Structures are given as C-alpha cells and as structure tokens.
Amino acid sequence: MVDDNRDMSRSDVPVRPGRAAAPECLVDGTYVRLMHRDGPAMTALVVFGDELTGPRGTAARALGVGADPRADLYEVLPTGQNWFPATETGPMAETLARDKDGRPGLAIGASMGGYGALRYGARAGCTTVLAFSPQARLDPAMSGPGARLSGQFRADLHHDMDITPAHLPERAYVVIDPEDAHDLLHAELLRHEAGVDVIPLARMGHRTEHALSSPEITEEVLRAAAAGDREDLARALRRGRRAVPRYLARLSLACSERGHARWGAEIAQLPEREGKPLAPDLRMALARARAKLGEPMQALEQIETLIVDAPKNPRFWRALSDQYEAIGEARAAGDVLELALEETGNFQLCWKLIQNRFTLGSLEEAGLLADMAEELWPERAGQIERMKTRIARAA
C-alpha cells in the first residue's frame, strides 16, 4: 500500500544561504519511502538506500552526498532488506519523475542501493546512474561466489528483478573491485545483459563507494558522471581511493607479500604524514611489513597495541598468535590463544588452541579443550568429534 502525500502542483521552496529546506515525505509505502529536500540545483540527486541506511533515513549522508544546501535531494529509502519490490518501487519512481518535472537527475546507490538505482533510476527520470558494487538480481538458483545474497530472495517480492537495457538511462556506470568475486560476477551479468559501463576500482572490496572520500572528490565524481566523462570519473574515483584506509592497507599488504615490504611499511604509514592516526587495518598492514622486514618484535608490539585498544576482536588475537608461530614460538602462540579465548569466547580461536596443544603433544589438555568446545558449540559437534578421534589415536 502506497500513500502519495505530495500535492503535485508544488511551488519551489526557497533555500536560505547555508541552510537546507526540511525533508518532506512524498511517498510512505510498505517497503519504500520517498523523501525530498528541495533545493535550487538544476540537476536532482536521487539516492537509493540499502537495508541499513534506508530504515535510518541516512542514505545520502552515508554516501557523503547531498550535504550542499543547494542540492535538490531525493532519497529512496527501503524499510528493510526488501530489494525494492517492483510493484511498489515502480509507481514510486514515476511519482518522483513527475515531482522532478523534467529536470535532469542523477541516481546513485551502493550495494542494494546500487541495484535500486540501476533498476529504477531511468523510471525516476534520471539521465545518469552511478552504482557502486551492485547486484544484478537475487537468484535462488545461483551458486558459487555470486550467490552470497541469494538467501534474501522472496518469491512474493522478487519475481521481477532483472535489469535490462530498457531499464537504463543514457549513462549507467557500475563501479566494482574486480578482486571481489561476487561483485565481478554481478558486474559481468549487468554488462552482458543490460550494457552498463563497468569501472574497476581495485583493492576496495565491496565498499567501493568509500572512494567518495571528501566533498571535493564527491563533487568531481558526480560532475563527471553527469557529463558522461568516463575517464574523468575513473580518475576522480582513483584519487578518492587514496584516502581510504582499507585501500591503503590492501595495497601495503600486496607490496609486503610480493617482496616489497619497505614500500608496504611506507604506504601503511601515509596517513601519519598528514597528522592522522592509523586505522586498525593500516596498523595490521604495518605489522605485516615489519615482520617481512625482519623486525618480528616490532610486529608483535604493533599487534599488541591493537589488542589493547580492542580486546574483544578475534582477528587481532589471531594475528598475534600467527606472528608468534611465524618466529617459531608455538608455546607462546598457544598462551596467546588461551588468553584470547577467555576474552572473546570465539570458536575459531578455541579450535586453533586445540590444534596448538595437539601439535605440542599436550594431548590431555587438547582433549579437555575439545570436550569444552563440544559443550559450548554443539553445532560444531561433527568437527570436534573428528578431532577427539585424532587425539585418542595419538594417545
């Protein structure tokens, strides 16, 4: 059920300098809401949210767009993980197009929001779509890397999900990390089935939209996309990527693993040159570079500072244990895992501890740990029973 709350004979709302008009709800549906904040910009910005930003009403803010009070901003906000059902989102997009009254528009979204922008951007009257790491569809028959989200399919909502050339406006750009197997598969589906223009942005993972890392970069990206300048768009995204800690961390790790650990260390410390603290991913990458440079103690100290800051994070404990193992200190690695298990209650750390004690010949302790694990994680009973069999045979 959709309620259209807006008188379509609207008059423009003036915007005072430095202030934006209050958002207004145009459509309040079961699965999708349409919000509008009037602004004098000639090109409307249509932001499609995802399952997190939609219910919170933060789709534009999460992407770093629409903060300029001059922006004429529409937000298409899903009420949950519903993937913009066609029966409701289609008519809502037409309402948006009528309200926009012939002005050009740019639709933008990430992940589920990227799908929504591609599927309904043209129907909303947009001439350009910019989709970050979108899915082509939900398909319960799909298997392999592309099936990561197929469990969200609902036959009553998603029987009409495909994106075809008829759904796309004049320009449709899809930005993905080609190293993400899921996103690459869906981008190729969109390229072959709908004809989108795919822009690779390596080492960003699924969150390619994080390349919109500053207002200046965001303005460049939106301007290039609206103008249909693919090269300027790609260049602006690559510039924005340089300020993303996850990208720098992945680049640093790649350098370290390929024999260029000094480069890896320098890259991991780039934010410090600008007076910024290092994000956890960068501190982990720096520890890896230190280890590769033959500085194992510095690597251990780097990881320990992460644990002090976030003692419940299993990843940091695992990294510390792995570093002790790398320098031949298996007993110390086990002691770390014991502390980690007390702090986190994490099954994977418990499993590593069982394997550690088994390898060191502490079979009785390994057996006791396996009994405890079976009580705490009964869903892992098969895996644990196989380990208990190995322990019994070794004894």
What are the tens digits of pLDDT across the range 39-75? 999 999 999 999 999 999 999 999 999 888 899 999 9
Domain ranges of the chain: 2-241, 244-305, 310-395
Please give the C-alpha separations between residue 311 and each of 60, 101, 282, in angstroms, as whole numbers.
Answer: 33, 54, 18
What are the tens digits of pLDDT across the range 105-152? 999 999 999 999 999 999 999 999 999 999 999 887 778 888 888 888
Assign domain 2-241 to its CATH architecture. 3-Layer(aba) Sandwich (3.40)
How far is 40 from 46, CA to CA, in rounded Å?
15
Residue 14 reports pLDDT greater than 80: no
pLDDT confidence of 16, banded at 50, 70, 90?
A: very low
* Residue 78: both structure tokens together: 């899903």
Are the C-beta atoms of residues 233 and 173 closer than 8 Å to each other? yes
DSSP states of 263-328 as a string?
A: HHHHHHTHHHHTTPPPPHHHHHHHHHHHHHTT-HHHHHHHHHHHHHH-TT-HHHHHHHHHHHHHTT
pTM, full prediction: 0.86
* Residue 187: both structure tokens together: 């981008």
Q: Does domain 310-395 have CATH number 1.20.140.10?
A: no
- 3-class DSSP assignment, residue 174: strand
Residue 138 is predicted with a pLDDT of 86
What are the tens digits of pLDDT across the range 220-259? 999 999 999 999 999 999 999 999 999 999 999 999 999 9
How far is 366 from 363, CA to CA, in rounded Å?
5
